[in-house]
Amino acid sequence: MFQKYTVYQFSALILISGLLFSSSLFGQTTENIKVMTYNLLQYGVTSGPGCTPATVASKNTWLQLITSYYQPDLFAVNELRWNTNHAYALNIKSNALTYNPAMQITDASNNAGSEIANMLFYNSAKFGYLNHTAITGNVRDIDIYKLYHKNSTSSGDSTLLWVMVAHLKAGNTAADAADRGDAAADVMSWLSTHTEVTNCIIMGDFNLYSSNEAAYVALTNPSHPKRFYDPSGVTTGWSGASFAAVHTQCPTTSQTFCASGGGMDDRFDFILAGHSIMNHTQKIAFKTGSYKAFGNDGTSYNTDLNCTNALPSTVCSAVKQISDHIPVVMELQIDVTTGIHQASLEKELTITPQGNPFRETLSLGLHFNENAQSQYFLQILNPLGEIMETRSLVVKEPFLSLEMDTQNWAEGLYFIQISDAKGRSIAEKCMKW
């Protein structure tokens, strides 16, 4: 989670008889984030009601083709067989998400006691993983993940993203719809009590049959301050051939491998985004036009998915075999601040924070090489540029260990900067939570 960077990336913090925070030194760019949600249809489950699911090995082969083609940075899944040590998630990471070794698993909850659960995989080169919590559902838990974007923190401010992964009750009865409505109400209640949440997306298999369902109404209620928006722009209807482009079930008319069959005719899978993302108020924005039902060109209704024009043939075939859902994808753009170059001390010393992240104590290991000078100056700064700690460092040995009491520091991002008398610097960033 700790990432070394030089003052080339850290130039928000300029020492002029103290610290001057100046935004005029920065340029602005964005980093693109690909998001995918996918119901994997009983991944790891060995038997279904009167049917046999595909093997894990087969699903890995198909999933590898699909994810290697799209290459998501955030990948949420439903219907992953529950296992307390996350063996099935690790199997996916090792055997299906081979397009990027930086993809990591998070955590999951199963207080509801379901045979299947959710999981979020994330690109650890772009995101740091802070924590996980869950809403205990009436059928399955709703998992909530807190991430921070690594490349946007060089400006002195961490950009946070909350990702909610849900798999709501299946079925087309009034009772099933009521269960889905209750789960959505729980989500909005949680958001009401967590006012710190800004950038937020919720995704997964919602099993909704219409935009009039209580669950969709609750999630997108305009009067709720934490409401979600539907980036597809298709906020009413969903039934019939005219809405074929947003349908996500079922890519085949057959019931092979426990698929529901019947062809493409339902919009069950969603990614919804909060106000700050849709209005770009907190450094993360929805990329216009990026929301898609993966491989769906809008020409399939009550038939097998016609994806040969949208996808390579091998990927199209994989989509139609692995699950009775197709993925939903979209892209986010995160603001990244770039800075000017200043001389660095990288050839003289390295900073190694101990702990990832830290809590009541920040421990640092400083390694000095043969080019090191006899004296340096250390500062710890918060994202506002306020100095939290200062120390003069006298170098007598190749290694120096430091500890700082951080009990009274707020949670968030901090910058460790060491400079010399010539104005050269080196810096690290670390996180308290």
Where do the structural domains in the chain lie, given as residue ranges?
3-25+341-432, 28-337
Whole-number pLDDT of residue 20: 31
pLDDT band (50, 70, 90) for residue 356: low
Contact 184/215 with Cβ under 8 angstroms?
A: yes
Q: Is 262 left (phi over 0), alpha (psi -120 to 50) or beta?
A: left
pLDDT of 338 higher than 80: no
Q: How many CB atoms neighbour CB 23 within 10 A?
A: 10
**Mean pLDDT of all residues in 235-248:** 96
Fold agreement between 3-25+341-432 and 28-337: no
Q: Is the peptide bond preceding residue 327 cis, with omega within 30 degrees of 0?
A: no
Rounded to 10 degrees, what is the CA torsion of 181, 183, 187, 193? 100
**Mean pLDDT of all residues in 242-263:** 96
pLDDT of 152 higher than 90: no
Range scoring the smallest mean pLDDT among 9-13, 181-185, 344-348: 9-13
pLDDT one-digit tens code per residue, 213-232: 999 999 999 999 999 999 99
pLDDT one-digit tens code per residue, 388-418: 998 989 998 999 999 999 999 998 888 898 9
pLDDT one-digit tens code per residue, 276-306: 999 999 999 999 999 999 999 999 999 999 9
The residues near 310 (Cβ < 8 Å, ≥ 6 apart) are 295, 296, 297, 316
Whole-number pLDDT of residue 381: 86
Helix (H, G, I), strand (E, B) or coil at 40: strand
Compute the distance between CA of residue 312 and CA of residue 302 in angstroms, rounded to an integer: 22
Whole-number pLDDT of residue 296: 98
**Mean pLDDT of all residues in 150-157:** 60
Contact 110/154 with Cβ under 8 angstroms?
A: no
Compute the distance between CA of residue 145 and CA of residue 119 in angstroms, rounded to an integer: 10
pLDDT of 322 higher than 80: yes
- Looking at residue 120, the DSSP 8-state letter turns out to be E
pLDDT one-digit tens code per residue, 81-121: 999 999 999 999 999 999 999 999 999 999 999 999 999 99
Residue 239 φ/ψ, nearest 5 degrees: -95, 140
Architecture of domain 3-25+341-432: Sandwich (2.60)
pLDDT of 23 higher than 60: no
Q: Is CATH 3.40.50.2000 correct for 28-337?
A: no
Whole-number pLDDT of residue 301: 98
Greater confidence (319 vs 352) lies with: 319
What is the chain's mean pLDDT, rounded?
89
Whole-number pLDDT of residue 340: 42
The residues near 318 (Cβ < 8 Å, ≥ 6 apart) are 61, 62, 63, 65, 66
140-151 burial, b at 16+ Cβ within 10 Å, e below that, comes to: bbbbbbbbbbbb
Whole-number pLDDT of residue 22: 37
pLDDT of 154 higher than 50: no
Greater confidence (24 vs 302) lies with: 302
pLDDT of 15 higher than 60: no
**Mean pLDDT of all residues in 59-71:** 98
pLDDT of 125 higher than 90: no
pTM of the model: 0.76
**Mean pLDDT of all residues in 138-152:** 91
Compute the distance between CA of residue 137 and CA of residue 181 in angstroms, rounded to an integer: 11
Whole-number pLDDT of residue 153: 54
Whole-number pLDDT of residue 219: 98
Number of H helices, E strands in the chain: 7, 23
Range scoring the smallest mean pLDDT among 56-65, 200-209, 387-396: 387-396
